[in-house]
């Protein structure tokens, strides 16, 4: 009888499908898989949180709350876990305490038993509110340390060393954590480092320790074994069909490895083979997301740049939208510089997106010429304390900016904003977290707007694949590539693009090929307007709001509109002074790069 049995958390329904399928798995399929796992005595299943909330409302027209409720009904005896981004909950900005409390309360009520709470800066102050809220719901509080390395120095760096992790672990235990998670989101910790780290933490802590890693670089499965040797209490794995690559290591080989050992999890291999068979039968629906994808091989470059899988596909997507894929290498070089300017934060959501997007802006528009609202708030300390001081030159650029950044709006505001649609607390929270896409979703949910075809269930995958094939053929026939070019298969909103990056290309050559920009005709008056008197959008996205009204007098540099692009909000400044004559868009409108955001009249 093993006395030190290893406990297993299965991540298939959240992190694995987030890592490999861009969080696009439908609730109906999740339910089918969950049904095959109801009798497996797992320590827990991670089924919610992370990108689930954003993805279901933004891309799938599915209610995330309904999903959680359904999973709970099928798995009443399995502890369900969610990933919570501290103050940012399941979003990308810091929400106020009232929203944090209400969200955690409702999540607990709907089915979450274990809250895995992390802060991208490992800042304990940031975690306090969420920790308190979880405790007051009498749920399991798992506090998380995000693993990072200063400059690929492992545990020997000046910031992220043994002392740093031991100190954080002690603080988290004192804050009331019921367990501690080491979260290696990029899959970069080495087997011997995790052995050292877990061994040391086991001596210091009385609470159980869980290890979460990814297979991205190939280190994941190796580190898992050394963590188990160091007596880690719980590990994260997933079903083999969605394992490896940027996802978790698989459960099946681990069970065989540990069979009859002191750490034998005592789970039945056949149960997992059965569940994996079900998963396998469902995956062809998502074939266009998984096969040929960039994530289908091990990516050892992550050992250098530390960029987690999700952030990488975001980068490509953002560069593509900006017609600047030829700048990919520049951006990959800029990321460590931007991270250094920001005080070496761990690259994990939302900071990874913020740093990545800022690096893209820095390359395309010039360093810190456009600073996203999120980065401004970060610099102003609203995301907490970075591990090292922020570059003072960058701080000055934000301090010189008089614009007062708005805090996240509270619960009462959300209640008022959707009062005519719904008064249900779950809907109110959906809106409070994502005012733009949340509102769009609620309008669809209540039948006010139709669900667009591309958000409906997959119907004709084969046709889509043929179209993708055609796209590839057309492209390769029309380009003469230099030997330095590299080809990537990438997915943007469920669509496959084969992208060839040729550093010798001029931007114009690249732009004409397969870029789809629908230039929205605004009105005829525009064609008569002097080019110099229009403010154009430098990026595609959603217009969040205007910061000026028609008739306002503005100065050069005044911010005109906020555009949400790649989950970041960017204020667009005026290039000259004048009077606002017209503002052609409404908040919530989709805009393309080059669309006219405002027309200015010169002073009389
Ligand atoms: Co993860």
Q: Are 348 and 50 within 8 A, CB to CB?
A: no
Count of CB atoms within 10 A of residue 19's CB? 29
Angle at 490 between CA 488 and CA 491, to 5 degrees: 175
What is the spatial distance between Cα 268 and Cα 41, in angstroms, rounded to a whole number?
A: 9
What is the spatial distance between Cα 455 and Cα 61, in angstroms, rounded to a whole number?
A: 6
pLDDT at 486: 53
Q: Which two tokens stand for residue 534?
A: 């229009």
What is the spatial distance between Cα 499 and Cα 563, in angstroms, rounded to a whole number?
A: 26
Q: Are 394 and 386 within 8 A, CB to CB?
A: no
Lowest mean pLDDT among 22-36, 181-195, 428-442, 565-579: 565-579
Ligand 1 ion: Cβ-proximal residues, 5 Å cutoff: 15, 185
What is the spatial distance between Cα 467 and Cα 255, in angstroms, rounded to a whole number?
A: 42
Is 446 in a helix, a strand, or coil?
A: coil
User: pTM surpassing 0.85?
Assistant: no
By percentage, how much of the chain surpasses pLDDT 90? 56
| Mean pLDDT of all residues in 483-505 | 49
Q: Are 375 and 113 within 8 A, CB to CB?
A: no
> Using the 8-state DSSP alphabet, how is residue 548 labeled?
S
pLDDT at 482: 56
Asked if the model's pLDDT at residue 385 lies above 50, the reply is yes
Q: Which residue in 26, 141, 31, 66 sits closest to 430, CA to CA?
A: 66
By percentage, how much of the chain surpasses pLDDT 70? 84
Q: Are 27 and 254 within 8 A, CB to CB?
A: no
Asked if the model's pLDDT at residue 505 lies above 90, the reply is no
pLDDT at 369: 87
Q: Which residue in 596, 592, 557 sits closest to 574, CA to CA?
A: 557
Count of CB atoms within 10 A of residue 291's CB? 13
pLDDT at 518: 35
What is the spatial distance between Cα 259 and Cα 266, in angstroms, rounded to a whole number?
A: 8
pLDDT at 473: 41
How far is the centre of ligand 1, averaged over its atoms, from the C-alpha of 202 (Å)?
22
How far is the centre of ligand 1, averaged over its atoms, from the C-alpha of 15 (Å)?
6
Q: Are 594 and 569 within 8 A, CB to CB?
A: no
Count of CB atoms within 10 A of residue 10's CB? 26
Grade residue 400 by pLDDT with cuts at 50, 70 and 90: low
Lowest mean pLDDT among 33-37, 320-324, 577-581: 320-324
How far is the centre of ligand 1, averaged over its atoms, from the C-alpha of 418 (Å)?
33
Helix axes 425-433, 435-445, angle to 10 degrees: 140
Count of CB atoms within 10 A of residue 136's CB? 12
pLDDT at 363: 92
Complete DSSP assignment for 269-316: HHHHHHHHHHHHHHGGGGHHHHTT-GGGS--TTHHHH---HHHHHHHH
Sign, CA torsion 24/29/30/33? negative
What is the set of domains in the chain, with CATH numbers? 7-290 (3.20.20.70), 406-455 (no CATH), 463-509 (no CATH), 524-601 (2.40.50.100)
How far is the centre of ligand 1, averaged over its atoms, from the C-alpha of 463 (Å)?
33
| Mean pLDDT of all residues in 441-462 | 76
Please state, rounded to an integer, the average pLDDT across all residues of the chain: 85
| Mean pLDDT of all residues in 391-417 | 75
Element (H, E) at 570: strand 568-573
How far is the centre of ligand 1, averaged over its atoms, from the C-alpha of 100 (Å)?
22
What is the spatial distance between Cα 351 and Cα 345, in angstroms, rounded to a whole number?
A: 7
Lowest mean pLDDT among 122-136, 336-350, 536-550, 563-577: 563-577
Angle at 591 between CA 588 and CA 592, to 5 degrees: 165
Complete DSSP assignment for 476-511: HHH----TT-EEEEEEETTEEEEEEE-TTS-HHHHH
How far is the centre of ligand 1, averaged over its atoms, from the C-alpha of 214 (Å)?
6
Grade residue 19 by pLDDT with cuts at 50, 70 and 90: confident
How far is the centre of ligand 1, averaged over its atoms, from the C-alpha of 389 (Å)?
27
Lowest mean pLDDT among 322-326, 438-442, 486-490: 486-490
What is the separation of C-alpha 410 from the centre of its chain, rounded to a whole number of angstroms? 23
How far is the centre of ligand 1, averaged over its atoms, from the C-alpha of 346 (Å)?
13
237 CB contacts (<8 Å, ≥6 apart)? 8, 9, 10, 11, 224, 243, 248, 249, 250, 251, 254
How far is the centre of ligand 1, averaged over its atoms, from the C-alpha of 137 (Å)?
25
| Mean pLDDT of all residues in 170-180 | 98
Complete DSSP assignment for 106-168: HHHHHT--EEEE--TT--HHHHHHHHHHHHHTT-EEEEEEE---SSS-TTBSSSSBHHHHHHH
Max intra-chain CA distance, the chain = 89
Q: Which two tokens stand for residue 309?
A: 């899988």
How far is the centre of ligand 1, averaged over its atoms, from the C-alpha of 83 (Å)?
9
How far is the centre of ligand 1, averaged over its atoms, from the C-alpha of 56 (Å)?
18
Count of CB atoms within 10 A of residue 39's CB? 10
pLDDT at 379: 92
| Mean pLDDT of all residues in 302-319 | 74
pLDDT at 37: 98
Element (H, E) at 223: helix 220-229
| Mean pLDDT of all residues in 170-195 | 96
Helix axes 162-174, 124-136, angle to 10 degrees: 30
Sign, CA torsion 428/125/567/142? negative
What is the spatial distance between Cα 284 and Cα 464, in angstroms, rounded to a whole number?
A: 13
β 578-582/596-601 pair status: antiparallel
> Which residue is listed with tokens 């960029």?
307
How far is the centre of ligand 1, averaged over its atoms, from the C-alpha of 112 (Å)?
18
How far is the centre of ligand 1, averaged over its atoms, from the C-alpha of 185 (Å)?
5
How far is the centre of ligand 1, averaged over its atoms, from the C-alpha of 213 (Å)?
6
> Which residue is listed with tokens 């307007």?
529
Asked if the model's pLDDT at residue 289 lies above 80, the reply is no
What is the spatial distance between Cα 108 and Cα 104, in angstroms, rounded to a whole number?
A: 6
**Model confidence over 219-274: pLDDT tens digits?**
999 999 999 999 999 999 999 999 988 899 999 999 999 999 999 999 999 999 99
Strand arrangement of the beta sheet that strand 534-536 belongs to: 534-536, 596-601, 578-582, 553-554
Complete DSSP assignment for 9-64: EE-IIIIIHHHHHTT---HHHHHHHHHTTTTS--SEEEEEETTHHHHIIIII---H
Q: CA end-to-end span of the chain, whole Å?
A: 89
Q: Are 237 and 13 within 8 A, CB to CB?
A: no
**Model confidence over 102-151: pLDDT tens digits?**
999 999 999 999 999 999 999 999 999 999 999 999 999 999 999 999 88
What is the separation of C-alpha 380 from the centre of its chain, rounded to a whole number of angstroms? 22
334-352 burial code (b ≥16 CB/10 A, e <16): bbbebbebbbbbbbbbbbb
Is 515 in a helix, a strand, or coil?
A: coil
């Amino acid at each position: 009888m093993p006395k030190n049995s290893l406990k297993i958390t299965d991540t298939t329904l959240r992190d694995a499908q987030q890592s490999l399928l861009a969080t696009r798995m439908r609730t109906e399929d999740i339910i089918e898989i969950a049904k095959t796992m109801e009798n497996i005595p797992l320590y827990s299943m991670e089924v919610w949180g992370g990108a689930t909330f954003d993805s279901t409302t933004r891309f799938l027209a599915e209610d995330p709350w309904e999903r959680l409720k359904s999973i709970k009904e099928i798995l009443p005896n399995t502890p369900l876990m969610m990933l919570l981004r501290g103050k940012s909950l399941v979003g990308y900005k810091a929400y106020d305490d009232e929203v944090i409390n209400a969200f955690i309360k409702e999540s607990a009520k709907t089915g979450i038993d274990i809250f895995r709470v992390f802060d991208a800066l490992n800042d304990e102050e940031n975690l306090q509110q969420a920790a308190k809220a979880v405790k007051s719901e009498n749920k399991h509080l798992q506090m998380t340390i995000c693993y990072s390395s200063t400059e690929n120095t492992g545990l020997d760096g000046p910031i992220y060393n043994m002392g740093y992790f031991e100190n954080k672990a002690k603080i988290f235990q004192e804050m009331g954590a019921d367990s501690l998670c080491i979260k290696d989101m990029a899959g970069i910790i080495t087997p011997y480092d995790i052995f050292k780290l877990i061994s040391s933490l086991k001596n210091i802590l009385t609470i159980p320790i869980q290890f979460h890693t990814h297979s991205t670089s190939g280190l994941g499965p190796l580190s898992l074994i050394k963590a188990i040797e160091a007596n880690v209490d719980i590990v994260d794995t997933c079903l083999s069909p969605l394992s490896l690559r940027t996802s978790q290591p698989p459960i099946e080989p681990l069970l065989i490895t540990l069979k009859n050992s002191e750490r034998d999890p005592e789970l039945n291999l056949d149960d997992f083979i059965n569940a994996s068979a079900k998963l396998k039968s469902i995956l062809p629906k998502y074939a266009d997301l998984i096969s040929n994808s960039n994530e289908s091989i091990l990516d050892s470059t992550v050992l250098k740049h530390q960029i987690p899988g999700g952030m990488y596909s975001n980068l490509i997507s953002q560069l593509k939208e900006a017609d600047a894929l030829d700048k990919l290498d520049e951006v990959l070089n800029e990321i460590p510089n931007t991270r250094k300017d920001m005080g070496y934060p761990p690259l994990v959501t939302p900071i990874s997106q913020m740093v990545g997007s800022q690096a893209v802006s820095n390359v395309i528009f010039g360093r810190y010429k456009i600073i996203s609202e999120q980065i401004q708030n970060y610099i102003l300390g609203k995301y907490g304390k970075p591990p090292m001081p922020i570059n003072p030159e960058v701080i000055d650029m934000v301090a010189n900016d008089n614009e007062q950044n708005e805090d996240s709006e509270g619960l009462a505001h959300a209640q008022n904003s959707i009062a005519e649609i719904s008064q249900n607390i779950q809907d109110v929270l959906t809106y409070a977290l994502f005012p733009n896409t949340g509102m769009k979703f609620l309008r669809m949910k209540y039948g006010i707007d139709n669900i667009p075809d591309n958000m409906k269930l997959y119907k004709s995958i084969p046709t889509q694949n043929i179209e993708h094939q055609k796209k590839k053929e057309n492209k390769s026939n029309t380009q003469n590539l230099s030997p330095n070019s590299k080809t990537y298969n990438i997915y943007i909103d469920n669509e496959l693009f084969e992208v060839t990056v040729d550093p010798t290309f001029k931007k114009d050559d690249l732009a004409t090929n397969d870029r789809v920009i629908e230039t929205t005709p605004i009105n005829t008056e525009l064609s008569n307007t002097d080019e110099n008197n229009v403010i154009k959008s430098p990026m595609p996205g959603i217009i969040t709001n205007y910061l000026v009204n028609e008739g306002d007098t503005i100065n050069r540099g005044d911010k005109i509109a906020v555009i949400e692009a790649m989950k970041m909000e960017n204020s667009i400044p005026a290039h000259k002074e004048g009077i606002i004559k017209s503002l052609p868009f409404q908040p919530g409108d989709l805009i393309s790069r080059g669309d006219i955001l405002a027309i200015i009249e010169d002073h009389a």
